[in-house]
């Protein structure tokens, strides 16, 4: 039997495959990997799709004898396929039902190896009827149940499930480490199924998250016409992400794909807290207030809107964090990341953001304003923040 995928009875939630040109080398390395994988305590079970000790019947054709009797090798193989492979021939359609026509020998005539001797084959010219035992010999043997392939190369696939509390990230790191030590350069190993999806998605999402932060910085820089105010706004993100990851750690949830989606949502929700504070402080600076008073007034006046939007988002994500609904357990990481990140950022943002704002304002006025390229850009009133502050203090 030649199979292009995993056999159904060996399926697990996650899969890891090994393939190469030399089948004997593939099987030998697979045995070594299996021995190492069984030492990992996080596997609920691990098995392969290779069953090397399956009872088989080894049939050897007498090719010279067949040619002498005028019977081709293809005709012999066709006989065996029609007799034992449940060959589908035709579909009979009726008014209310339809029936498949399948050609095979009766069950009572294929229970023992000796039943092969009861088959007869007609010669190519149709004149002679020869028993199969005159054209082939057979003997019991032990061999593989199937010959599995990936991309037309012999392969062995490992299927495993994880124990409760074990994470796919840790299991994937262990498998990658063992494969790096055991698998030679002539063979190829890779994750399949959910494990492959998780590994690729994690790598891509981290890159996408960095790109999202960069895009947010560019948009905020255009909005505020400043290099430093976007940094103040984005300073709310690390505390929120730490809070989301801490929530996963406290409740024992893994950083699944849902958790990464929650991080993206968290970044968008938390960023608006920084925007509310910084935008209000900039408006106060334009009226002549100094940086300390402006950021203080912004934190006090914007506290109620920030608290209201945060509570609305927390209560909206709370049912997800509690795992309500069909398949709610798989979505819990998403809710925990949002709730944990919002709660932590709510308590820390109002203390950290003003401090960062004041330090960056000092850096802007005392360092960047000395060069024309980084000097604060005039706002719609026609004057920069530094100029406004100078006017408020007089000559």
Mean pLDDT computed over 22-30: 90
269 with 335, same domain: the answer is yes
- Please check whether residues 179 and 240 belong to one and the same domain: no
pLDDT in tens, 350-389: 788 888 888 888 888 787 777 776 666 544 433 444 434 4
The answer on 151 and 238 residing in a single domain is: no
Q: pLDDT band for 14, please (50, 70, 90 cuts).
A: confident
Residues 42 and 81 in one domain: no
Does 39 score more than 50 pLDDT?
yes
Residues 44 and 60 in one domain: no
Number of domains in the chain: 3
Judgement on whether residues 307 and 380 belong to the same structural domain of the protein:
yes
In a domain, 169, yes or no: yes
CATH number at residue 300: 1.20.1640.10
CATH for 107: 3.30.2090.10
Question: CA distances (Å), 359 to each of 229, 237, 354, in order?
Answer: 11, 18, 9
**Nearest C-alpha neighbor of 336 from the set 356, 348, 350, 322:** 322
Whether pTM exceeds 0.85: no
Structural contact between residues 254 and 352, judged by C-beta atoms closer than 8 angstroms: no
Q: 161-184, pLDDT tens digit by residue?
A: 888 777 777 888 899 899 999 999
Residue 35: count of CB within 10 angstroms of its CB: 11
Selection from 226, 217, 240 nearest residue 281 by Cα: 226
Tell me if 240 is assigned to some domain.
yes
Which of 116, 140, 164 is at the close of a domain?
140
Statement to judge: residues 177 and 320 lie in one domain:
no
Tokens at residue 315, please? 């209560």
| Domain residue limits at 262 | 225-393
Cα dihedral: 107, 109, 112, 115 (round 10): -150
89 falls within a domain:
yes
Cα distance between residue 331 and residue 342, in whole Å: 17
Amino acid 379: pLDDT = 44
The vertex-94 CA angle with 88 and 98, nearest 5°, equals: 35
Confidence (pLDDT) at 15? 86
The C-alpha atoms of residue 234 and residue 214 are separated, in whole angstroms, by: 10
Q: Do 258 and 111 have their domain in common?
A: no
């Amino acid at each position: 039997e030649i199979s292009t995928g995993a056999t159904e009875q060996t399926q697990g939630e996650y899969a890891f495959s090994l393939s190469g040109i030399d089948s004997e080398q593939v099987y030998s390395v697979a045995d070594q990997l299996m021995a190492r994988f069984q030492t990992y305590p996080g596997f609920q079970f691990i098995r392969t799709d290779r069953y090397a000790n399956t009872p088989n019947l080894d049939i050897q054709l007498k090719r010279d004898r067949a040619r002498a009797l005028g019977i081709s090798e293809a005709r012999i193989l066709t006989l065996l396929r029609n007799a034992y492979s449940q060959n589908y021939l035709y579909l009979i359609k009726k008014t209310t039902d339809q029936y498949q026509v399948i050609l095979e020998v009766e069950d009572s005539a294929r229970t023992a190896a000796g039943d092969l001797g009861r088959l007869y084959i007609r010669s190519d010219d149709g004149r002679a009827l020869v028993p199969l035992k005159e054209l082939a010999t057979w003997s019991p043997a032990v061999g593989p149940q199937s010959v599995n392939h990936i991309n037309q190369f012999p392969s062995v696939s490992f299927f495993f499930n994880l124990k409760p509390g074990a994470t796919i990230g840790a299991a994937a790191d262990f498998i990658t480490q063992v494969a790096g030590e055991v698998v030679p350069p002539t063979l190829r190993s890779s994750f399949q199924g959910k494990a492959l999806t998780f590994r690729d998605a994690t790598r891509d999402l981290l890159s996408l998250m960095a790109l999202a932060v960069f895009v947010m910085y560019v948009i905020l820089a255009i909005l505020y016409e400043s290099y430093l105010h976007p940094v103040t706004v984005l300073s709310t993100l690390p505390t929120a992400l730490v809070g989301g990851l801490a929530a996963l750690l406290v409740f024992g949830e893994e950083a699944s794909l849902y958790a990464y989606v929650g991080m993206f949502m968290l970044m968008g929700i938390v960023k608006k807290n920084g925007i509310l504070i910084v935008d209000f402080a900039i408006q106060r600076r334009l009226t002549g207030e100094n940086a300390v008073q402006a950021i203080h007034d912004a934190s006090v006046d914007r506290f109620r809107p920030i608290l209201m939007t945060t509570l609305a988002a927390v209560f909206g994500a709370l049912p997800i964090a509690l795992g309500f609904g069909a398949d709610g357990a798989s979505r819990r990481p998403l809710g925990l990341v949002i709730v944990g990140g919002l709660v932590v950022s709510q308590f820390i943002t109002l203390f950290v953001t003003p401090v960062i704002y004041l330090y960056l304002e000092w850096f802007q006025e005392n360092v960047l304003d000395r060069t024309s390229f980084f000097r604060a850009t005039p706002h719609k009133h026609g004057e920069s923040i530094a100029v406004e502050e100078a006017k408020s203090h007089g000559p």
